């Protein structure tokens, strides 16, 4: 999606021009190749970019060896899907400012890069902050970096997104520094 197409999309969603400049700095390319990594608890297939998927599989297997069951909840989400999610919330009467605390602007989400995954556990598969109290979260905090994954939205993050202990993104450039 071009920058101009994103600007039109944002305008239709009611995102003020002043915010467009702020979010444009975080525009991310949408993944072109994806592979399945499994299904979420509802049975929907989950896909990631090939290298992120391989890193996820290695990390999930390592966690299992340590007695932790990392459940994939969601992965790739297209820019078009992100737009629909925000539009649905606006139609339901939610304020844009509130929506943007929990959903990235279309074109700026890590999910459409194919590198982000929402992770749950048998104790918490509903994407709530309660996930931070699970042994799976503690395992991720200790080991995810070994596989190139980082917690994207810790408490009081600079992006202004609400705390999401379940949202992890694969950053291949982090592997070089390990």
Return the structure tokens found at 105.
């602007």
Among the listed residues 86, 111, 126, 92, the one whose alpha carbon sits nearest the alpha carbon of residue 170: 111
Residue 178 — pLDDT band, cuts 50, 70, 90? very low
Place of tokens 């104790």: 123
> Average pLDDT for residues 4-29, to the nearest whole number?
68
The string of pLDDT tens digits covering residues 68-120 is 999 999 999 999 899 999 999 999 999 988 998 899 888 889 999 999 999 99
Structural domains in the chain, sorted by start: 3-175 (3.30.1380.10)
**Whether the predicted pLDDT of 24 surpasses 60:** no
Among the listed residues 100, 99, 103, 108, the one whose alpha carbon sits nearest the alpha carbon of residue 25: 108
CB count, 10 Å around CB of 58? 13
Q: Measured between alpha carbons, how far is 27 from 108 in angstroms, rounded to an integer?
A: 4
Is 120 within 8 Å of 166 (Cβ atoms)? yes
Q: Measured between alpha carbons, how far is 31 from 75 in angstroms, rounded to an integer?
A: 11
What pLDDT sits at residue 153?
A: 95
The string of pLDDT tens digits covering residues 108-159 is 899 999 999 999 999 888 999 999 999 999 999 999 999 999 999 999 988 8
Q: Measured between alpha carbons, how far is 22 from 40 in angstroms, rounded to an integer?
A: 33
């Amino acid at each position: 999606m071009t920058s101009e197409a994103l600007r039109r999309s944002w305008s239709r969603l009611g995102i003020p021009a002043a915010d467009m400049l702020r979010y444009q700095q975080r525009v991310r390319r949408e993944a072109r190749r994806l592979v399945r990594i499994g299904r979420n608890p509802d049975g929907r297939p989950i896909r990631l970019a090939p290298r992120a998927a391989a890193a996820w599989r290695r990390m999930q297997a390592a966690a299992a060896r340590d007695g932790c069951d990392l459940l994939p909840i969601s992965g790739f989400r297209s820019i078009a899907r992100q737009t629909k999610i925000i539009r649905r919330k606006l139609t339901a009467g939610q304020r844009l400012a509130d929506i943007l605390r929990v959903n990235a602007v279309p074109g700026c989400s890590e999910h459409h890069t194919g590198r982000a995954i929402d992770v749950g556990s048998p104790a918490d598969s509903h994407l709530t902050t309660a996930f931070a109290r699970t042994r799976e979260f503690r395992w991720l905090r200790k080991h995810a970096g070994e596989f190139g994954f980082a917690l994207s939205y810790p408490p009081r993050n600079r992006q202004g997104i609400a705390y999401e202990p379940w949202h992890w993104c694969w950053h291949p450039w982090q592997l070089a520094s390990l």
